[in-house]
Amino acid sequence: MLKQNLQQKLLQKLSPLQIQVIKLLEIPTAQLEQRIKKEIEENPILELEREQSDPDKDEPEVREKESEKDELSIDEYINNEDIPAYKLQSRNFSKDDKHEDIPFSTGATFHEHLVAQLGLRRLNDRQRDIAEYIIGNIDEDGYLRREIDEIIDDLAFAQNIEVDERETLDVLEVIQDFDPAGVAARDLQECLLLQIQRKDRTFPDVENAFQVLKYHFDEFTRKHYDKITKRLHIDEDELKDALAEVLKLNPKPGSSYSNTMAKTVQHIIPDFILEIEDEKFQLSLNNRNVPELRISNTYADMLEDYSANKKNQTKDKKDAVMFVKQKLDSAKWFIDAIKQRQNTLMVVMEAIIDYQKAYFAEGDETKLRPMILKDIAEITNLDISTISRVSNSKYIQTHFGIFSLKYFFSEGMQTDTGEEVSTREIKKILEECISNENKRKPLTDDKLASILKEKSYNIARRTVAKYREQLGIPVARLRKEL
């Protein structure tokens, strides 16, 4: 049984302009230029703002040609047909014309380098197939991450080659003799041993380094140097020389091979530029590569003319006018969204600078005040989500470096005197304590917590450990040096 009911609902919908602003807020300056160019390609109503030239200085013929070029009627748009491809092609080439191919340079990849060395070894077809499969499983760091049993199974199912463990290891040994040294190792210990074995072990330092890697690798990774010196019957100076030889080895031999697949370096383009003039902050947006936009006068005038003459219009003309109107509205929304984006960015950044005035004046990290998204949202009367979008993937250039906006946000805590300080200030003190510690007896987390308490920062040991891990600093045992 069907029933009809009247129901009132209160719904909140975002306008197209609001949606545009939200999307543009998240885009950093480096991507904004591409976003604007994409919009220009999709919307013929938009065009770049050019410098207006003096019409009196332009020649009449030039002005006439430009006006003819700019004029476009809806009739031409409607009656425009696709031009056959043969009318756009010309075959006015002679067999005597000189044709040159522009050469380009290229390089071999890491795996191609290994396969090339394979051709220099005396192997039968069966061994070559096994070797090529092993090389195909070597990662970019130069390691063979798959187990031998798995490779044997893969060769049986994929290549229809039945091999045993001894035959596979013999082929692997051949590959491990390739350059760079240490390639095709199955773990770090094997990688370092393959490299140290190629050195002259008649030297005591090299031999001691081999003994450390071969028989005392666990103690070496845990920095139990006392155990190593006792078992090898050497003193600290000899162990120090041996470890110096180990540090010369490459833990990632594949990365040392230069190839065309190297990752490109990304340069940071700041969204804001902060300068100090006469002890006053001068903040500006980095609009160097952001083009100015305007609405095409040709299409705007065209729409006005056809709106004034609504009579005697065909269906095709009405559809064309509707298309132009939609693109015109979209262009206005996009231009307004760009302006709102710039205004919002400036308002938020000015609030951050005012909040962290002491820090931006000197660049001293300890001057950073505790600040969260809610603090800036309350100052600017904007939503927290808006502040989050503004601070995401944005950078500011100052007189002491380029920083991410997220860098200025941090939690706070109170000292024994009741003063509120930033956690970044505490991390800075931790870094200084660790950098100045005695490397023979590094400071433990308990000792670091005691030092901070002496400085009026009442922090538990587990909190010190958390901050230390966030700074990427290992535990005291792993910081120990001879």
Arithmetic mean of pLDDT over the chain: 79
The CA–CA distances, whole Å, from 387 to 20, 220, 257, 338, 379 equal 16, 48, 44, 17, 11
The CATH superfamily holding the domain 412-479 is Homeodomain-like (1.10.10.60)
Distance between CA atoms of 177 and 183, rounded to whole angstroms? Answer: 8
What is the residue-wise DSSP string for 25-43? Answer: HTS-HHHHHHHHHHHHHH-
pLDDT at 397 over 60: yes
Q: Residue 113 and residue 179: Cα distance in Å, rounded?
A: 9
Q: Report d(CA 15, CA 332) in Å as an integer.
A: 13
Confidence tier at 339 by pLDDT (50, 70, 90): confident
User: Using one digit for the tens of pLDDT, what is the confidence trace for 43-93?
Assistant: 877 777 764 444 454 455 544 544 444 444 555 544 554 545 554 454 555
Question: Which pLDDT belongs to residue 67?
Answer: 47
pLDDT (0 to 100) of residue 417: 63
Contact, 384 vs 391, CB < 8 A? no
What is the reported pLDDT for 195?
A: 92
Q: What percentage of residues in the chain have a pLDDT greater than 70? A: 77
The tens digit of pLDDT for each residue in 130-163 reads 888 888 889 888 999 889 888 888 888 888 888 8
Flag whether the pTM goes above 0.75. no
Helices 373-380 and 315-355 pack at an angle, to 10 degrees, of 110
- Tell me whether strands 420-422 and 293-295 are parallel, antiparallel or unpaired: unpaired
Distance of alpha carbon 375 from alpha carbon 382, whole angstroms: 10
Highest mean pLDDT among 8-12, 309-313, 344-348: 344-348
165 exposure class (CB count in 10 Å sphere: 0-12, 13-18, 19+): exposed
Tell me the per-residue pLDDT of 231-257, one tens digit each, with 9 for 90 and over.
989 898 899 999 999 988 999 888 766
Work out whether strand 280-285 and strand 272-277 pair parallel, antiparallel, or are unpaired: antiparallel
The secondary structure of residue 416, as a DSSP letter, is T
Structural domain boundaries in the chain: 110-256, 272-408, 412-479
> Would residue 312 be called left, alpha or beta, if left means φ above 0 and alpha means ψ between -120 and 50 degrees?
left
> Higher model confidence: residue 478 or residue 102?
478
Q: What's residue 104's pLDDT?
A: 47
Tokens standing for 152?
């044997």
Among 254, 334, 328, 245, residue whose Cα is nearest residue 291: 334
Q: Given strand 280-285, what is the order of strands in its sheet? A: 280-285, 272-277, 395-398, 401-404
Which of 475, 457, 453, 477 is CA-nearest to residue 466?
A: 475
Q: What is the pLDDT of residue 210?
A: 92
Q: Give, in degrees to the nearest 5, the angle at Cα 265 between 263 and 268.
A: 145
Q: Which two tokens stand for residue 126?
A: 């069966």
With H, G, I as helix, E, B as strand and everything else as coil, classify residue 327: helix
- Reported as a single tens digit per residue, the pLDDT across 281-299 is 888 888 776 777 777 777 7
The pLDDT value recorded for residue 190 is 92
What tokens appear for 372 in the block?
Answer: 């969260």
Minimal CA–CA distance to 142: which of 197, 112, 181? 181
